[in-house]
Structure 1
Amino acid sequence: MVLPPHAHVVSSLWGTDAEAERHIGYWAERTSAGWVDGVSAHVRNNLIPGFEPTGVGAQYDGHFRQPYFLDRVGRLADTLHQDGTILTVQMILQGGMPHAASSTLSGPVVNQVPHALTREEIDWFVAEYAHGAQQIALAGADGAEVHLNHDDMLEYFLSPLTNHRTDEYGGDLAGRLHFPLRILAAIRGAMGPDRIVGVRLNLREEEPGGYGIDGPDGAIAIARALEASGHVDYLSCAIGSPWGNPSYIQSQHHRPAEWSALAGRVKEAVSLPVVYTGRVTSPAVAEELLAAGHADAVGMARAMIADGKLLTKAQAGRPEDIRPCVGGNECISRRVVEGTPFSCAVNPEAGKEADRSFATRTATRRILVIGGGPAGMETAGLAAERGHQVTLWEAGHSLGGQLRIAANAPCHEDYRSYLAWQERRLATAGVEITTGQRADAQGVEAFSADHVVVATGASARTPDISGVDLPHVHTAYSVLADDEQRIALGEHVLVVAQDDHLAPLSVADFLATRGHRVTLVHGTAAPGPLLSRYILGSILARLDAGGVTLRASEQPVSIEDGRVAVRHVYSGTTRAIERVDSVVLSCGAVPESALHDELRTRGIAADIIGDAYAPRRLVFATKQARELALAL
């Protein structure tokens, strides 16, 4: 078991002292893996004065040149070494902004032309990597992993797509590997023979002109050349591009360990140990790919964010107690798109382990939680685990709220697993659950709880569009919940998207898989503007394969039988979409806050949480639940 680098999205090892403590505390909670490839460290850029690097991980001085590198990495190494956990440091120059082999673009979504390195600059980088390796050794870490993938400067040299050089650093595979092999030799020389040197390798590129698994330029040939160099101790094999389908952080739209057989091809070709990472969602999935001979070790990142005790629970024979990752990529997307702090959608405690804030309370209080959706369930579970006596009332006949409906969309099966885990958790914690009970202010007052939490959720929002009340207009909720397909939608379904995240795209995917011809109309310039590149490519690929038509920057202004008029939001031009059989509204939700309002008028103190306050997403509900539970 290997934990690949990912804690930099949780908390920065290079930030304030408090952030560094959180970073170290996060890894300390997960040392049962035995091997933490836990430091994402960027190499210094070689820039002309005034040039501003851009892209993922854009750095001026890099991390190895920071005065606190030895202290921070040394403290992490000491923490992990206490129970024998190995620490390796990944050396990165990702983003390729501005450095590359040639002034060539690596894909269709980033169009900034890079700077082609000169021989003198190549020599400079070799020395810089050697310095970084010396720092790794001085800090007491156990080795280095060279980032040779995912739009790293070194991948740009390795790739036939981006390396068009005619000197000794270009041409055939041997020429394209010349620069990376020089760096590996320098790292080995700087660290000595007793430390580990590994390579993170992409199993294939996701763009025409890039390398695949086979052939003279393929991943197998690259792996053999790396082994033949004598500088490499292991290969960490990954998949995906920084933008495509899949991204290198694969979303819920892909099967668990879908590409592990490709790593198995590499393992057959070399004697080096091979690590596979890529949507390994559970210990069972890890065991399957190991048993199939696809790898010698397995990397798990998001699954370990979701449950830091994953391995200890598996070792204890309690796999059902492992909190499942749902693969929605909120852990990365919300930071890079919305600029909000890290939070895991299913584990709000992730990244806050060093705070040690969830000690059991000595004073037990009687808590009433009203609403059994994600916010209510998480609040009830956390409060009960802190020692409170918790009762949960749910108006429906099952827990889960809107998440249970969303689970009917394609590739949303993990949400059912999460809800099943929550139900077991609440039972174990002793939460008293009553379903089919709609709360009113009189009943809440009669219950006489010490604290009341209103988590009554939200209802589908109906936009102000002429004709929206016609019988062939439906909400996404009703369509997704229509298990028996009693709603007659006809052939051509128009989806109105007034939601900036995944929901409208998932509804369109759901309808396309049922055989409908789907048109998705969204007022934004691009679909799903709050979706990052780490998830957007996968759902767009599904929609394109399903024949879904996307119409950007348009808003419906009127709905008639067989016809929808749309207005371009910038030009104001109105156009008609003809032969529309039905319309589905995926337009977000409005809060169900009436109970909270009535409680306030009666003078009954109550907190409001989740969609009942303002409709957002699962990650917002669970994060709010944690903060509220801390205050109870």
Structure 2
Amino acid sequence: MTQTLLAPAACLTNPLHTRPALDRLSSQQPTGFELPVTSQTSPFPHLFTPLKVGRQELPNRILMGSMHTGLEEQGEEGLARLAAFYAERARGGCSLMVTGGFSPNPEGRLGAEGGFLVDADASHHQQVSDAVHAHGSRILLQLLHAGRYGYQPDIVAPSPIRAPINKTTPREMDETDIQRTIADYARAAQIAQAAGYDGVELMGSEGYLINQFTAPRTNKRDDRWGGSFENRARFPVQVIKAVRAATDPQFIIMYRLSVLDIVEDGSPFEEVAALAKLAENAGADILNSGIGWHEARIPTIAQAVPRAGWSWATERLMGKVEIPLIATNRINTPETAEQVIADGHADMVSMARPFLADANFAGKAARGTPEEINTCIACNQACLDHYFKGKDATCLVNPRACRETMLTWKPADTARKVAIVGAGVAGLSCAVTAAERGHDVTLFEAATQIGGQFLLARHIPGKEEFNETLRYFRNRADAFGVSLMLNTRAEAATLADFDDVVMATGVAPRVPDIAGVDHPCVMTYEELLSGAREPGKRVAVIGAGGVGVDVAVHLVERGLRSHLDPAEFRSTWGVAREPEDHAPSHDVVLLQRSTGKMGAGPGKTTGWVHRLVLLRANAEMIADVSYRRIDDEGLHISVGNEDRLIKCDSIVLCAGQVSVNALADSMKADDRPVHVIGGASFAGELDAQRAIEEGTLLGSRL
């Protein structure tokens, strides 16, 4: 049975900022807060109250949490890029940050090419700590031993139990392995100190090695390292003591405590609280929260999780230790962070992905201009999905993340008149980048508001965060003087006087060639999500890619607020009790032509959440479908050699997109130069990451 815990209410803030942006500086020069910010001068007084951590004092309560970017495995070149990455966040006002994970020894590596610390690494890592210290910030190196989560052949664990997300069974550690590993942690901390890091974070959560020792689920030993809680807690306590003894007193030890395992046979709260106190007594200066193991089947950071949806788990430990506690997961705005601290849920907040989205998050919050923040939308598409596909991490809404040495731009030598047709995210990113460089930009949009496909996507449960991206682009456009022509359809003659013309006219839903597709019961996903058409009770969705799955989730979760309300989230997912059944608002049948896994279109690290939602709503999912016809009876299909009738009230077409580029084609036919980006260039599956990246790249070189 999934671990169940009583949970107090948590905060939820979801503002839509409307104040105009004030920041007019280049993206190459992120702004910090040069003037002192105190709790008396900040609009977020709790967030900007100093905090004592060990023997050091931090100017604010914001932690940039650890993110594995893929650069950690790339040697000196990767470290040079990491130095630029962290320096930009330090310059942007972040007072304390944690690197991605480095293993203390070879068997603890995340993968075959994973980074682990040796003595020679100190000089290479010095560039990272120096870059951060140059801007007055502090940085910790995370020590992470993967244990049974490692994707390489030499993995070890407390007990030889294979992880359900891994194909390799670990070797059980003997006494010699355990003692050597404890010593390796101490040696790695010494290397980090020699490299100039201000401390280390010991990764004791999310199901990695230290957590594998503490949880009955993975520790089946009958020696002094297993069995009773005292024995299972011995390994983390000995690691902390060894690191404390090997480093200077001012060296910060942050222990990442699994405050909630969310797996069967995880640690009960009584043991979590006891371990917190043991960690403090062993020498930890501050406790960071870890939520859930990677094998847990409850979302912890995806869009399905409401803002600050897990802060209650940290709040239960408040008062049980004297060192500071950090809350984490889905805290993506300064308003939310302020509320977490004001409500007494934590002493500090950790925000990892929000610093991918905006390097200047802290500085903008300190200046009282949160509307300027490029908000993390919790999509995972370019950060976690990239990493697990073997790519460098970046950010959908900020293509410069982790590419600070590669994607740069400077003011234009000559200001040009630039016309951009289409105010979806491709056109918006191009417009603000070009205008920031000094070009005179006019943005034409046939609709009455900006956003394109983002306007539709924001109606999907959890994707309300897309409103924040549109707010950010609108404010940036205002700040840099983009002339926004809404409700205006550009024509070739309109564009004659511009030096550069960019077509970002986007896509339209593809209408498949099915007999009867013009039947009154048929609608496109655009008609459904825009509210132009209302579906009946039983709905067939044609197409199970990302759009089809999103539409299906939208249909079964209409009226539910589990992605917005922490209490409803816990009820829906069974965190505080057994999951409660919610009758779906619509009965859904999801269909696809291919024989592959249903719903494989969504992201690697989030698709499983959507599939679980649909399974729990009893949505029927049918693959290997041939569409025969649509008539008054419903949708006629064949599955293999069997004909079947899907009786339904409505049919929603999610069968792909086609580019809208008639204007671009006509201009090319007249030999007029034109740039085509985003969906207008290639429809495919909707890809906001590619659209924003293409717009940014073009805007940077016009």
Relative to the length of structure 1, the TM-score reads: 0.90
* 1:35 positional shift: 0.9
Unaligned runs of 5+ in 2: 1-61, 559-584
Moved more, 390-399 or 114-123: 114-123
* 1:373 positional shift: 0.9
1:169-180, aligned counterparts within 5 Å? 169-180=225-236
2:541 to 495, 507, 525: 495
> Is the Cα–Cα contact under 8 Å of residues 42 and 63 in structure 1 kept in the other structure?
yes
Q: Residues 150 and 59 of structure 1: is their aligned pair in 2 closer, same or farther, counting only changes over 3 Å?
A: farther
Matched letter for residue 88 of structure 2: E
What whole-Å deviation, never above 9, does each CA across 1:404-439 have from its counterpart, x for those lacking one?
Answer: 111122222111122122112212211111122222
Cα distance in 2 for partners of 1:61, 1:478 equals 47
Counterpart in the other structure of 1:347? 398
1:224-623, aligned counterparts within 5 Å? 224-228=277-281, 230-248=282-300, 250-336=301-387, 341-355=392-406, 357-445=408-496, 448-482=497-531, 486-487=533-534, 489-499=535-545, 501=546, 503-514=547-558, 515-522=585-592, 523=594, 525-554=596-625, 556-568=627-639, 572-615=640-683, 616-623=686-693
> Is the Cα–Cα contact under 8 Å of residues 452 and 606 in structure 1 kept in the other structure?
yes
1:41 to 56, 81, 102: 102
What whole-Å deviation, never above 9, does each CA across 1:56-84 have from its counterpart, x for those lacking one?
Answer: x22477420274x2123211112222233
- The reply on whether 1:5 has 2:66 as its aligned counterpart is yes
> Is the Cα–Cα contact under 8 Å of residues 126 and 196 in structure 2 kept in the other structure?
yes
Counterpart in the other structure of 1:20? 79
Count of residue correspondences: 605
> Is the Cα–Cα contact under 8 Å of residues 244 and 537 in structure 1 kept in the other structure?
no
Cα distance in 2 for partners of 1:99, 1:93 equals 10
* 1:205 positional shift: 1.5
Relative to the length of structure 2, the TM-score reads: 0.82
Q: Residues 497 and 201 of structure 1: is their aligned pair in 2 closer, same or farther, counting only changes over 3 Å?
A: farther
What whole-Å deviation, never above 9, does each CA across 1:239-260 have from its counterpart, x for those lacking one?
Answer: 1332445445x12221111110
* 1:170 positional shift: 0.9
* 1:454 positional shift: 0.6
SS of match in other structure, 2:71: coil
CA RMSD of aligned residues (A): 2.3
SS of match in other structure, 1:268: coil
Q: Residues 122 and 338 of structure 1: is their aligned pair in 2 closer, same or farther, counting only changes over 3 Å?
A: closer
Moved more, 28-37 or 177-186: 177-186
- The reply on whether 1:104 has 2:161 as its aligned counterpart is yes
> Is the Cα–Cα contact under 8 Å of residues 337 and 531 in structure 1 kept in the other structure?
no
SS of match in other structure, 1:254: coil
Unaligned runs of 5+ in 1: 48-52
- The reply on whether 1:195 has 2:251 as its aligned counterpart is yes
- The reply on whether 1:158 has 2:158 as its aligned counterpart is no
> Is the Cα–Cα contact under 8 Å of residues 443 and 482 in structure 2 kept in the other structure?
yes
> Is the Cα–Cα contact under 8 Å of residues 310 and 328 in structure 2 kept in the other structure?
no
Cα distance in 2 for partners of 1:463, 1:333 equals 33
* 1:566 positional shift: 4.2
Q: Residues 475 and 356 of structure 1: is their aligned pair in 2 closer, same or farther, counting only changes over 3 Å?
A: closer
Matched letter for residue 476 of structure 1: Y
2:238 to 173, 182, 201: 182
Q: Residues 66 and 492 of structure 1: is their aligned pair in 2 closer, same or farther, counting only changes over 3 Å?
A: farther
Amino-acid identity (%): 28
Matched letter for residue 82 of structure 2: H
* 1:143 positional shift: 1.3
SS of match in other structure, 1:285: helix
SS of match in other structure, 2:203: strand
Moved more, 586-595 or 36-45: 36-45
Q: Which runs of 4+ in 1 moved over 6 A?
A: none
Q: Residues 467 and 71 of structure 1: is their aligned pair in 2 closer, same or farther, counting only changes over 3 Å?
A: farther
Moved more, 621-630 or 125-134: 125-134
Moved more, 449-458 or 319-328: 319-328
SS of match in other structure, 2:383: helix
* 1:193 positional shift: 2.9
> Is the Cα–Cα contact under 8 Å of residues 240 and 279 in structure 2 kept in the other structure?
no
